[in-house]
Amino acid sequence: MRPVVLIVDDELRLAEVLALALEARDIEAFAVNSVVAAEDFVRANAVDVVLTDLRMPELGGRELLHRLRVNRPDLPIIIMTAYASVRDAVDLVKDGAFDYVSKPFEVDDVVATINRALRLGETLDENRRLRREIEQKFHFDNLIGDSPAFQQVLRQITEVCSSRATVLIQGESGTGKELVARAIHYNSPRRAKPFIPVNCAAIPENLLESELFGHARGAFTGAVAARSGRFAAADGGTIFLDEVGDMPLSIQPKVLRALQEQTFEAVGSDRATRVDARIIVATHKDLRRMVDDRSFREDLYYRLNVFAMTLPALRERIEDVPAIAMHFLRQFADEMGKKVVSFSPAAETAMRAYSWPGNIRELQNSVERAVIVARGTAVDLPDLPRYVLESASSASAGSRLPDDLDAELAKAERNYIIEALKESQGVQVKAAARLGITERSLWHRLKKHGIRIDKNIG
């Protein structure tokens, strides 16, 4: 698609001549002769660059710049000016104009300036797109869970985001340690700089030092050229050392120095490199026990343990399972183009009954599989992995029969109603819809169970 340029000049004939010259260079150009006409054109059409004369009767280029910056602040505006008014044009560049061209000018010079403006616009668009994706993906809203255990994690993330303190994230495999690390980075003052993840368990011991700190040419067999490491790549940003408990003892002193002094040497080099990188580490291992076993350096442990947080296993916040599962369901349904919008009550009950030893990663994989095989608009019991169903069946089979069935049913009904009211913040219409009953039926059950609707429901 050709770029669109709007030329604004009170001498319309000259503007039209310039428009024809730009058309000959594969730029779609339009000409208008006033600020008001330019505003109307920009409102009604997609414009990539505005090229405006500085001095025009009544309203000139300065007024157009200020007006367009209100609604189109990222639209590049190039000022055309006579030599005597260059100082005014420079002032407008300080006010936000992209650049200026002096009359008389060569068309090629104008085209070169327009192309620079277009490249800047493309870069800004791409940066905005990437920034939106990052903010959407790692915003606090995507850290899902209302359980007390997970709310504590969210509070800790909020507390540590703005600092440069080293963070130690502990938790079982699959609990979302890297997601939390990224959330800390992308909600910190370093968000515009790189986030560099390194899985210490996935890189062979003989390569990990070079991977972290880089190497000089000829440092070892095969090092035919110098190479920067991950610490250098994270300068100004954050380096995330995942599974730090698997880091070999031989490399730990060098990581300790990078933490303490913010300097390191590449493998095979005696030249110190300074780096400003925040360090976040994660592990599923008990580092304190590893220190006692002398398999992890005590001084490094204390350097890493500045701000420690432990992510709860999914079985410890089982009430969060439905919300997390719905998040994954929407994601996978969108990716696959399937109209799967919910879980059946039976499927949701089975997911609540399962202990999820693989934590969030296992839940994510199970939901992805369920969306693939689901035939209707809701994921049902047969769509879930067999081990989830077997676990739910075992739990059901192992439960004892109640001594008073009516009392147990009444208790279950009361609990469901209270939960629905909490979800709907006490709005009876919504609670009734959530339970699949009429509002009148809900009202009778509220009276039956003596449930009062206030801040402390039930």
**pLDDT tens for each residue of 244-262:** 999 999 999 999 999 999 9
Question: Burial, 314: exposed, middle or buried (Cβ in 10 Å; 0-12, 13-18, 19+)?
Answer: buried
With cut-offs at 50, 70 and 90, classify the pLDDT of residue 328.
very high
pLDDT of residue 86 exceeding 80, the answer is no
Query: pLDDT tens digits, residue range 170-210?
Result: 999 999 999 999 999 988 999 889 999 999 999 988 889 88
Which of 71-75, 89-93, 130-134, 242-246 is predicted least confidently? Answer: 130-134
Fold agreement between 4-131 and 317-398? no
Which of 5-19, 27-41, 391-405 is predicted least confidently? Answer: 391-405
C-alpha 41: how far from chain center: 36
Fold of 405-449: Arc Repressor Mutant, subunit A (1.10.10)
Q: Hey, what CATH class is 140-310 in?
A: alpha beta
Q: Do the Cβ atoms of 126 and 162 come closer than 8 Å? A: no
Fold of 4-131: Rossmann fold (3.40.50)
Residue whose entry in the numeric block shows the structure tokens 């869970």: 145
**Per-residue pLDDT at 373:** 93
**Per-residue pLDDT at 339:** 92
With cut-offs at 50, 70 and 90, classify the pLDDT of residue 337.
very high
Domain 317-398: CATH architecture, name and number where available: Orthogonal Bundle (1.10)
- Side-chain-side CA neighbours of 336 within 13 Å: the count stands at 19
Region 286-306 average pLDDT:
94
pTM, 2 dp: 0.59
Residue extents of the structural domains in the chain: 4-131, 140-310, 317-398, 405-449
**Per-residue pLDDT at 299:** 95
| Higher pLDDT among residues 356 and 60, named by residue | 356
Q: How many CB atoms lie within 10 A of CB 77?
A: 25
**Per-residue pLDDT at 458:** 47
Nearest one of 302, 314, 416 to 365, comparing CA atoms: 314
| Higher pLDDT among residues 217 and 155, named by residue | 155
**Per-residue pLDDT at 340:** 93
Q: How far apart are CA 49 and CA 2, in angstroms?
A: 12
- Output the average pLDDT for the chain: 85
Percent of residues, the chain, with pLDDT higher than 90: 40
**Per-residue pLDDT at 404:** 67
Region 12-16 average pLDDT:
88
pLDDT of residue 362 exceeding 70, the answer is yes
Query: pLDDT tens digits, residue range 385-418?
Result: 988 887 666 655 545 555 666 776 777 788 888 8
Percent of residues, the chain, with pLDDT higher than 70: 89
**Per-residue pLDDT at 456:** 47
pLDDT of residue 3 exceeding 90, the answer is no
Which of 143-157, 181-195, 368-382, 442-456 is predicted least confidently? Answer: 442-456
**Per-residue pLDDT at 270:** 81
| Higher pLDDT among residues 220 and 334, named by residue | 334
C-alpha 437: how far from chain center: 38
pLDDT of residue 7 exceeding 70, the answer is yes
| Higher pLDDT among residues 448 and 370, named by residue | 370
**Per-residue pLDDT at 290:** 95
Rg of the Cα trace of the chain? 31
